[in-house]
Amino acid sequence: NKAISDWYEPGSVFKLITAAAALDTGCCRPTDRFTCAGKISVAGTRFRCANGHIHGSETFAKGLAVSCNPCFIQIGARLGKERFCNYFAAFGLREPTGIDLPGEIRRSEYYTADRMGPVELASCSFGQSSKVSYLQMLTAVCAVVNGGKLMQPYLVSKIRAPDGQVIKEVEPVVKRQVISEETSATMCRLMEGVVTSGTGKQAAVAGYRVGGKSGTSQKLDSANEGARIASFVSVAPIDDPKIAVLVCLDEPHSWTTSGGALSGPVCAEVLKKALPYLGVEPEN
């Protein structure tokens, strides 16, 4: 079960975690401005923005919407390695989720603060150089939009006897409060901006308010330098979240490797069918 047994580098979907941590600590505000010159040098290592974009002067909110790497390297530097690592752990990315399924990996791959230099912090800030499971990533994103509460994921909610009697019922469990409710509400607004005016336009669903984040991560341990994972995470309705969907395409063979272009439309199809099933009807 790849969702719980495999590691992957989440790429720019992870920017949601960096953004939430930066806002929650108060080291950044949505209106703070950053500069993207298309590339940025950190301790002698050059990082470039995805697809060679040069965004110029941009706000924190715009940097998330257009998924700007130099912007998030600067945000990560403001946050600092100690706080970055503390939030990485608080979002549950160092531990198994504990879901009621066999075969979940028992650990993830990450830098601790004592092993993290400025280059590692820069890379981790936009979702490279760490490896987590797909379910760990989705559970963390749920905490971002769920009022800051990290939940215990589970598969089976209720077990009944043949006569219909309930033998066991699983109640939702809050593991911990990771970010404030105010930070979570701000992140929901920013994630909606990704879909309305950023890299997630193809994840929009008519009649629904959708929030999301695209990702295109490089598989750093692959012999193929062009190997990518195209991903997108969608949450809807973003003003009252009911469902979260993470779609990851492992080494897609297509005209692009962009998560917004390839995985975004898949998320939209899932939401389009799932939301009415859950009783959430579209608005005009």
φ and ψ at residue 57, rounded to 5 degrees: -80, 130
Amino acid, single-letter form, for residue 248:
C
Amino acid, single-letter form, for residue 260:
G
Distance between CA atoms of residues 233 and 215, nearest Å: 8
CA-based nearest residue to 22, from 66, 65, 62, 60? 60
Active site residue 12: yes
Torsion, CA 122, CA 124, CA 129, CA 133, rounded to 10: -170
User: Which residues 6+ apart lie within 8 Å of 67 measured at CB?
Assistant: 12, 15, 50, 194, 198, 199, 213, 214, 215, 260
CA-based nearest residue to 199, from 70, 68, 91? 68
Per annotation, catalytic residue among 12, 125, 129, 130: 12
Number of residues in the chain:
284
User: Which residues 6+ apart lie within 8 Å of 96 measured at CB?
Assistant: 104, 105, 106, 107, 133, 136
Which residue, chain included where needed, has tokens 């193929």? Answer: 224
Which residue, chain included where needed, has tokens 């190997």? Answer: 227
Give the H/E segment covering residue 75: helix 69-79
- Measured at the CA of 268, the angle between CA 242 and CA 272, to 5 degrees, comes to 65
Catalytic residue numbers?
Answer: 12
